[in-house]
């Protein structure tokens, strides 16, 4: 099994096969390595520092491991998992995440044998944007200015609480620690809005028109159950459609049943289910 760094010319013939994974790393400025067997890319390891997933304080070294081809014999899968973790450990990361379709039980088992444990279980849901979306007008939507991003994060830390989503809960612990230079990055890549009722912020949403992704939607705990979440979603879907997207997608924890019911009522369907495993560097004794 060969390992190629992201800047190795030998990797060029494989770019078409790894582009989906490599692009995620490149957007976040993370160097990556690709593990290859007989010209077939098995997986990719990207190395960076928080905030990427917000599972640790900013500056914490971390890794993302992506399985590209799960259709491998047991011995090859064992070799891939071992080498992928070794790449991460050699670069002194504090933790490594590995993301898999939930059906890849054999690969998940191999990673668990190396000390990974399950952190997240989530659906990717998609919705065709084949109709017009209109809000009722009970909420007013206001684009967040760059200077208001700290305020947006403060509201998000409150409005997103209460979910069974473990990864989200961990991220909220470090949300307010995000350095300004990363706020510049996030602000450049996504659209952020306050949802206001009689001048007061009762909800938030951020989404990427380029990617067709709704990243976060939250409602003030005291205003839940009033239909505001639906109105915020309708606003987001309308903006994605106006931006030329034909499909919207989002991630939701499998146990977040109220959110899933809302999304399904708007036309979303469960397209995939993914599990995220995490390895943490053992504490020094």
State whether 133 and 154 are in the same domain. Answer: yes
Please report where in the chains the tokens 């509201």 appear, as a residue.
155
142 within a domain of the structure (yes/no): yes
Domain termination residue (choose one: 89, 115, 141): 115
Q: What is the mean pLDDT of residues 264-280?
A: 97
144-188 pLDDT per residue, tens = 999 999 999 999 999 999 889 989 998 998 988 988 888 998 999
Quote the CA–CA distance of 62 and 45 in Å, as a whole number.
Answer: 10
* Residue 20 pLDDT > 90: no
- Asked if 177 and 199 sit in the same domain, the reply is yes
- Tell me if 209 is assigned to some domain: yes
Domain-terminating residue out of 53, 87, 115:
115
**Which CATH number characterizes residue 102's domain?**
3.40.630.30
Within a domain: 219: yes
Considering the domain architecture, whether residues 78 and 154 belong to the same structural domain is answered as no
Is 223 found in the same domain as 88? no
Residue 34 shares a structural domain with residue 73: yes
CB-based burial of residue 7 (10 Å sphere; 0-12 exposed, 13-18 middle, 19+ buried)?
exposed
Question: Does one domain contain both 133 and 265?
Answer: yes
Domain membership of residue 206 (yes or no) is yes
Distance (Å, rounded) from C-alpha 180 to C-alpha 185?
9
Chain segment 100-150, per-residue pLDDT in tens: 899 999 999 999 999 999 999 999 999 999 999 999 999 999 999 999 999
Alpha-carbon distance 86 to 195, whole Å? 46
Residue 252 has a pLDDT of 97
Domains contained in the chain, number? 2
On whether both 97 and 50 belong to a single domain, the answer is yes
- Residue ranges making up the domain that contains 25: 2-115
Residue 280: inside a domain, yes or no? no
Please state, in angstroms and rounded to a whole number, the distance separating the CA atoms of residues 109 and 226.
Answer: 43
In this structure, the answer to whether residues 16 and 111 fall within a common structural domain is: yes
Identify whether residues 109 and 132 lie together within a single domain: no
Say if 283 falls within a structural domain. Answer: no
How high is the mean pLDDT of the chain?
94
pLDDT reading at 209 higher than 90: yes
120 in any annotated domain: no
Tell me whether residue 261 is in a domain.
Answer: yes
Out of 115, 148, 166, pick the residue that ends a domain: 115
pLDDT at 284: 73
Q: Same domain for 157 and 99?
A: no
Q: What percent of the chain has pLDDT over 90?
A: 84
Same domain, 161 and 244: yes
Angle between helices 149-159 and 180-189 (to 10 degrees): 80
What's the pLDDT score for residue 285?
63
Residue 259 CB contacts under 8 Å (≥ 6 apart), including other chains: 163, 229, 252, 253
The pLDDT tens digits of the residues spanning 220-259 come to 999 999 999 999 999 999 999 999 999 999 999 999 999 9
Shared-domain flag, residues 85 and 134: no
């Amino acid at each position: 099994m060969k390992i190629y760094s992201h800047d190795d010319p030998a990797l060029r013939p494989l770019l078409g096969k790894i582009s989906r994974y490599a692009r995620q790393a490149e957007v976040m400025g993370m160097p990556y390595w690709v593990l290859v067997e007989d010209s077939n890319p098995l997986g990719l390891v990207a190395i960076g520092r928080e905030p990427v997933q917000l599972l640790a304080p900013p500056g914490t070294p971390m890794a993302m491991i992506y399985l590209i081809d799960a259709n491998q014999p047991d011995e090859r899968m064992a070799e891939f998992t071992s080498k992928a973790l070794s790449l991460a450990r050699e670069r002194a990361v504090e933790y490594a995440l590995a993301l898999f379709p939930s059906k890849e039980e054999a690969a998940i088992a191999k990673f668990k044998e190396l000390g990974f444990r399950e952190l997240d279980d989530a659906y990717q849901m998609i919705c065709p944007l084949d109709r017009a979306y209109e809000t009722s007008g009970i909420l007013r939507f206001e684009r967040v200015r760059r200077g208001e991003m700290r305020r947006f994060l403060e509201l998000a830390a409150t409005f997103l609480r209460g979910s069974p989503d473990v990864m989200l809960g961990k991220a909220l612990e470090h949300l307010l620690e995000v350095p300004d230079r990363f706020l510049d990055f996030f602000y450049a890549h996504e659209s952020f809005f306050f949802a206001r009722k009689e001048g007061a912020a009762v909800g938030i949403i951020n989404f990427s028109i380029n990617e067709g992704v709704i990243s976060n939607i939250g409602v003030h705990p005291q205003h839940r159950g009033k239909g505001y979440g639906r109105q915020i979603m309708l606003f987001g879907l309308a903006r994605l459609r106006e931006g030329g997207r034909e499909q919207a997608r989002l991630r939701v924890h499998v146990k977040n049943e109220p959110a899933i019911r809302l999304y399904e009522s708007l036309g979303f369907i469960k397209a995939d289910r993914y599990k995220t495993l995490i390895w943490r560097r053992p504490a020094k004794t």
